[in-house]
Chains A and B, each alone.
Chain A
Amino acid sequence: MNPLQTFRVALRAIWRNRMRSFLTTLGIIIGVGAVIAMMAIGAGAKAQVEAAFAAMGTNLLIILPGSSSAGGVSGGFGSQPTLTWDDLAAIREEIPTVKAAAPAMRSNQAIVGEESNWTTSVTGTSPEYFEIRNWPIALGTALTDSDVETGTKVVVLGQTVAEKLFGANSDPVGHVVRIGTTPFQVVGVAERKGQSATGQDYDDAAFIPVTTFGQKIQGGLSKYLSGQIFVEATSSESTSRALADITSLLRDRHHIPPNGDDDFSIRNLSEIAGAQAQGTDTMTTLLASVAAVSLLVGGIGIMNIMLVSVTERTREIGVRMAIGAKPMNILLQFLIEALSLSVAGGLLGVGIGVGVATWLAARFHWPMLIQPDVITVSVAFSAFVGVVFGLYPARKASQLDPIDALRYE
């Protein structure tokens, strides 16, 4: 008896008791449905968090200068400039795990266009900044090294600023804007980046060369870099290595004794992203284990109904044996029946899970991500449940004595 035929016999037996079969598979359907829906929403939330951190930049370290302490009041990180331009140069040159580093000095300034004005955060930085933040230029060009060297009066606008000053879908490249009293030429517009995880609009910003920032906005260059340094590590694995290296380099350069406190601090954003993702993972694991329990219960339901089916069809088993069915034929027949039930339940569950996840996502504006491997694993697991719980009834059927089975009323 070939497998296809056994499968057809099994399907027919299931179809004869369709109501019963459906109710039996309900456990599996709900279990798989729950797994799919929960995993889809969990993965969606995780992807959203990851996207939010990726928007900030990948493998990103931010170095903040130290705090001032005056009259017992600590000013918080960044209140006292302790980082120098030489520190930046040393980080760029001496640490192999650093791919790029850029200064970022910020100030809120009014930008005046031809018809309107807009107050935004103006950042003085270097060309590496856009690379570190994964931030391509949509129109025109980015800042260049020569802009930084010579302190040219050029500006790259964020999308929001470009819209506020020039209107939507305009091309401001080549136009002149004023920041404070200084005219700047717009050389580029950065691509839309969206909101940060905390709702801050990344696109509400403008970027000028850091040297120009020092001269025109800060009012003269100083030895200190009164802002932050953005660092991109060469890979996510090397981020912590880069962090340790920068720490020891800066401590060395700032002549901090071994027991002294750092006069700077370094934020490791990939670590924060990891912690966030881990929280989502824990939640997903919890929900998945609840779903696994319901799959188990579904499996017991299948075993129960298969035992009923074997008892009901004892005579049929007897006839098949008298006619020449081997124990293995009978075993496979019932095993495939249990397997078909559980796989059908699994497939229905996938459909329902995807449906529920889509509905929830649409209804509550939750992110959702359907992962093909979760679907494969769920269906495979329900098949596994079918085999495990179908084996006992199938074995029982195959071990029946043909004479007893034929006499069974």
Chain B
Amino acid sequence: MADPLIRLEDVTKVYQTGDVEVRALAGVSLTVESGEFVAVMGSSGSGKSTLMNILGCLDRPTEGRYRLAGREVQRMDRNELAEVRNHVLGFVFQNFNLLSRTSALENVELPLVYQGVSAKERHRRATAALEKVGLGKRIDHTPNQLSGGQQQRVAIARAIVGQPKVILADEPTGNLDSRTSVEVMSIFQELGRSGITVVLVTHEPDIAEYATRVVVVRDGLILSDDRREQKPAIVPPLASQREPGAASSTSPTSQRGDPSA
């Protein structure tokens, strides 16, 4: 492929805190092809969050070039960056970052609101996205009525509803117990299989195992970059973990519904 989805060329990021210059990224070059599932690993202070912010168009590099989906990001103004975040990217955060006292459906509709999609179409697509993550029956629940795993699934639905090219997940399992972590990761895995590019930041090696490629960052530089076979799904197909009767467009097994119903 001539033009990869993500291409960082010698990207540096320098923060000025008082008189001290902090070199968070010291020249990172990275290309990610469409459909890859990349885990970015590193200890805290390694520069992985800065890398994530730059990849996510929340911040611009001090030096170097960043091309995303054929567009030069480092020259964009705030409005263009917002547009890219809206159309090309989907975010999943460690602390979910859902709007409180707002229903799951409305949270998921939010990116479409800024895309200017009509109310009817928004409702349809948001409902479909929630069904995809197995929350089709909880669209009216507000975040405080949902468990951590469910909240993160709403956040994933919100990330995918705008049909982005890349999903950026920043420690998505950081606030979840290991069982729900497995659930959430299997959703990412399915997304990866369906062709969406996933870039995931984590410091847990067993979470990184779900990825097809592991990039290790240390002191603002890429230490290693390994492609490897994806770990086979260690959980039964996702649908069986879902609420009984939840419809799914990703797994035919879920169509059975609840046998006791």
Contact = CB atoms under 8 A, between A and B. Distances in A.
Interface of A: 1-2, 5, 16, 315-316, 318-329, 402-403, 406
Given A1-B113, A1-B116, A324 B85 contact: yes
Interface string B79-123: 100110111000101000111010000000011011110000000
A10 to B, nearest CB: 14
Contacts of A320: 110, 114
Specify which of A1, A5, A326 lies most central, judged by the most chain B CB atoms within 10 Å of its CB. A326
Contact of A322 (B56, B98, B113, B116): B56
B91 A327 contact: no
Nearest to A326: B82
A403 B51 CA distance: 12
A329 B114 contact: yes
Contacts of B98: 319
Nearest to A405: B58
B78 interface: yes
A323 B91 contact: yes
Contact of B111 (A5, A323, A403, A406): A323
B58 A325 contact: no
Q: How large, as a class, is the contact surface on chain B?
A: 20 to 34
B186 interface: no
A324 B87 contact: yes
A interface: dominant SS: helix
Contacts of B47: none
A406 B93 contact: yes
Interface string B42-65: 000000000001001011000000
Given A1-B116, A326-B78, A16 B56 contact: no
B162 interface: yes
A234 to B, nearest CB: 64
B162 A324 contact: yes
Interface of B: 53, 56, 58-59, 78-79, 82-83, 85-87, 91, 93, 97-99, 101, 110-111, 113-116, 158, 162
A51 B154 CA distance: 70
Contacts of A329: 114
B78 A324 contact: no
B87 A403 contact: no
Nearest to B78: A327
Contacts of B113: 1, 5
A319 B99 contact: yes
A324 B162 CA distance: 10
B114 A406 contact: no
A326 B115 CA distance: 11
Contacts of B115: 324
Contacts of A406: 58, 93, 97
Contact of B83 (A322, A326, A402, A403): A326
Contacts of B158: 323
B86 A324 contact: yes
A316 B99 CA distance: 6
Contact of A324 (B53, B93, B97, B114): B114
Contacts of A322: 56, 58, 85, 91, 97
Contacts of B85: 321-324
Contacts of A1: 113-114, 116
Contacts of B101: 16
Nearest to B93: A406
A319 B58 contact: no
